[in-house]
């Protein structure tokens, strides 16, 4: 008898993890694989952050902290939002979590009742719909299109709103598209939220990795917003597991209670290191951003030159989401072929929703040399297609 819960079975697998596993298998068997499938920075965590963690461990910062997080870190988050965006965040409204991922559970757990709807983009980061469904909610995808820079059409967002809509999920810069919502998009979404009484949930994890100007926070445009953010990407801290939720006041205590029960707190010495990251590692963020930008400026024209279509240049995160239908419309099959036949690992667009079918996601969180090698392989592979 099949005893696995319907809830667990409803979670869709993240296929890119299968690509990762197969890429590792091939590497272990002696093949050289160019790894462009995963969004994990190739930089090591900046020294100043590592040293802070070492000192904190030495000092015995190894126990539980307050569930909501260390006061110093919450103050540093307030100061960061003031310096970067000119907005006032009360540290009381910040809950520190073990990455942005658990912050999604706090957000949707505090906001949604079963049957409530959350508007997401299609394509988008796949965990959103899984968190929403797992908690009994209904993800409502709204299509975004490559030729429109993957920005929402506001009329389509409006049409998707029902009496059950609780929030619109946004992610700028975006995974997998590398697209950025401009101030006019954020202002329009903020106005819609205020008009309709729904919330904006803004995943700002790729802030700091934007190449056409500073990132803009949704909090510059409205208070009807939750912010998710974390240290994984801009600070090259994926394995440290540190993030946070900034919530409207009435949701703070409920979210904190979820955190207390399910996670207790984030790691003590990691929180100390995160405080130092915000206060002292902005130069490192700028250095890594410049390197990502150099890779992006190489990769976008190089992928176009091998035949892929990139309608609007991506200006954030470290992804290029390219239309690969010239090579085949089944992105899963195509990514499998590229891995086995060309030795290049990429993420299939279908992983990010039906709107991603026919696309491939190339991550440039890998060195320029390896990107160049990957493009060489794609070029010779495509000549045989």
Ligand X SMILES: Cc1ncc(COP(=O)(O)O)c(C=O)c1O
Report the residue from 27, 66, 101, 382 that binds ligand X according to the rule CB under 6 A. Answer: 101
Closest CA to 108 of 128, 86, 80: 128
Q: Quickly list DSSP for 21-70.
A: HHHHHHHHTT---EE-S----SSPPPHHHHHHHHHHHHTT--S---TT--
Q: Under rule CB under 6 A, how many of the chain's residues touch ligand X?
A: 13
Q: Quickly list DSSP for 318-337.
A: TEEEEE-TTT-S-HHHHHHH
CB-nearer residue toward ligand X: 121 or 342: 121
Task: Verify binding: residue 100, ligand X, rule CB under 6 A.
Answer: yes
Q: Residue 352 and residue 201: Cα distance in Å, rounded?
A: 18
The number of helix segments (H) and strand segments (E) in the chain equals 13, 12
Q: Give yes or no for a contact between 322 and 356, defined as CB atoms under 8 angstroms apart.
A: no
- In whole angstroms, the minimum distance from the beta carbon of 100 to ligand X comes to 3
Report the residue from 45, 129, 171, 217 that binds ligand X according to the rule CB under 6 A. Answer: 171
Report the residue from 45, 65, 175, 217 that binds ligand X according to the rule CB under 6 A. Answer: 175
For ligand X, the binding residues in 103-142 under the rule CB under 6 A are 125
Q: Residue 189 and residue 170: Cα distance in Å, rounded?
A: 9
Q: Candidates 26-34, 94-102, 111-119, 297-305: pick the segment binding ligand X (CB under 6 A).
A: 94-102
- In whole angstroms, the minimum distance from the beta carbon of 280 to ligand X comes to 20
Task: Verify binding: residue 259, ligand X, rule CB under 6 A.
Answer: no
Left (φ > 0), alpha (ψ -120 to 50) or beta: where does 127 sit? alpha
Closest CA to 123 of 153, 139, 143: 143
Q: Residue 227 and residue 204: Cα distance in Å, rounded?
A: 7
Distance of CA 254 to the CA centre of its chain: 24
For ligand X, the binding residues in 8-37 under the rule CB under 6 A are none
Task: Verify binding: residue 210, ligand X, rule CB under 6 A.
Answer: no
Name the residue whose CB lies closest to ligand X: 99
CB-nearer residue toward ligand X: 265 or 306: 265
- In whole angstroms, the minimum distance from the beta carbon of 243 to ligand X comes to 4
Task: Verify binding: residue 258, ligand X, rule CB under 6 A.
Answer: no
For ligand X, the binding residues in 218-237 under the rule CB under 6 A are 230, 232
CB-nearer residue toward ligand X: 211 or 231: 231
CB-nearer residue toward ligand X: 16 or 302: 16
Task: Verify binding: residue 39, ligand X, rule CB under 6 A.
Answer: yes
What are the φ and ψ backbone dihedral angles of 202, each rounded to 5 degrees?
A: -110, 115
Q: Which helix (H) or strand (E) holds 167?
A: strand 165-171
Task: Verify binding: residue 267, ligand X, rule CB under 6 A.
Answer: no
Q: Candidates 93-101, 157-165, 303-311, 371-379: pick the segment binding ligand X (CB under 6 A).
A: 93-101
Task: Verify binding: residue 208, ligand X, rule CB under 6 A.
Answer: no
* Residues with Cβ within 8 Å of residue 241, at least 6 apart in sequence: 98, 99, 266, 267, 270
Task: Verify binding: residue 243, ligand X, rule CB under 6 A.
Answer: yes
- Chain contacts with ligand X (rule: CB under 6 A): 39, 99-101, 125, 171, 175, 203, 205, 230, 232, 238, 243
């Amino acid at each position: 008898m099949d005893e696995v819960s319907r809830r667990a079975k409803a979670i869709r697998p993240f296929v890119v993890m299968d690509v990762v596993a197969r890429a590792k298998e091939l590497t272990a068997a002696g093949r050289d694989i160019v790894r462009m499938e995963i969004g994990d920075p190739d930089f090591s965590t900046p020294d100043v952050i590592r040293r802070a963690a070492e000192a904190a461990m030495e000092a015995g910062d190894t126990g539980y902290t307050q569930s909501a997080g260390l006061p110093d870190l919450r103050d540093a988050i307030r100061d960061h939002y003031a310096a970067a965006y000119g907005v006032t965040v009360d540290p009381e409204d910040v809950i520190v979590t073990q990455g942005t991922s658990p912050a999604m559970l706090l957000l949707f757990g505090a906001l949604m009742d079963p049957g409530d709807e959350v508007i997401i983009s299609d394509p988008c980061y796949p965990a959103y719909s899984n968190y929403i469904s797992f908690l009994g909610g209904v993800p409502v995808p709204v299509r975004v299109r490559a030729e429109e820079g993957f920005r929402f059409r506001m009329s389509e967002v409006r049409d998707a709103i029902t009496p059950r809509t609780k929030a619109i999920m946004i992610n700028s810069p975006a995974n997998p598209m590398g697209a950025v919502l401009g101030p006019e998009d954020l202002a329009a979404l903020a106005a819609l939220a205020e008009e309709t009484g729904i919330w904006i949930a803004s995943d700002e994890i790729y802030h700091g990795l934007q190449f056409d100007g500073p990132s803009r926070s949704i909090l510059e445009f409205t208070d009807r917003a939750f912010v998710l953010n974390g240290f994984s990407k801009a600070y090259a801290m994926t394995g440290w597991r540190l993030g946070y939720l900034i919530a409207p006041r009435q949701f703070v205590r409920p979210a904190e209670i979820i955190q207390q029960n399910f996670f207790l707190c984030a790691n003590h010495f990691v929180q100390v290191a995160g405080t130092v990251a915000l206060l002292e590692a902005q130069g490192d963020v700028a250095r890594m951003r410049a390197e990502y930008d150099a890779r992006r400026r190489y990769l976008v024209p190089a992928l176009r030159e091998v035949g892929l279509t990139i309608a609007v240049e991506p200006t954030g995160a470290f992804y290029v989401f390219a239309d690969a239908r010239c090579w085949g419309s089944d992105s899963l099959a195509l990514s499998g072929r590229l891995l086995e036949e060309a030795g290049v690992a990429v993420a299939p667009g279908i992983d990010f929703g039906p709107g991603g079918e026919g696309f491939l996601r190339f991550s440039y969180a890998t060195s320029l040399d390896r990107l160049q090698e990957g493009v060489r392989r794609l070029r010779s592979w495509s000549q045989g297609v």
